[in-house]
Amino acid sequence: MALEEFLRVYDLYDKGVDAITQDDAGRVRFVFDLFHCDDPQRDDEAKEYLLTATFRPQDVVVHEGALYHEEGGWLGKVLDLQEAPAPVRMGIEWWSLRLPGIVTSWTSLSLLGGPIQAEETISDR
C-alpha cells in the first residue's frame, strides 16, 4: 500500500499508538488504536480496533525523541499530523505506564513513503 492511500484509508490524527517496535526483518512496526467516539465505523467500546502498519526503516526519520516504545510500557497519541507537503510529519505524545508519577515523552518523525504493509484487526475487548 502506498503512503497516500494509507493516509486516505486511516485517519490517524488523535488516534492511539500502542507501540512502535522493530520486527525480525528490521522493519519499523507501528500499532495504532483506531477507536474513536467520532468514528461511526470504530466507536464500539466493547471492541478493539488495531492497525498494524509496517514501514521500511529508511522510510521513517526521527526528528526528536525516541522512536521505539514497547507495547505495555508506554501509551501514545498522535497529536500532530501534517500530511502536506510531503514528507508526512507526525508527532506522538507518550505516557509511561510503568514509571511512577506522570512521565511523558514526545516523538517527532517523518514518513517518507515506500510500500506499507497494513492490517486492521477488530476483536472483542
* pLDDT per residue as tens digits for the range 67-105: 999 999 999 999 999 998 779 999 999 999 988 888 899
| DSSP codes joined into one string, 79-94 | EEEE-SSSSEEEEEEE
- Interatomic CA distance for residues 35 and 48, integer angstroms: 7
Cell of 13: 490524527
Rg over alpha carbons for the chain, rounded to the nearest Å, is 14
CA angle at 112 for the pair 14 and 30, rounded to the nearest 5°: 45
Q: What's the whole-number mean pLDDT along residues 34-44?
A: 90
Please state, rounded to an integer, the average pLDDT across all residues of the chain.
Answer: 94
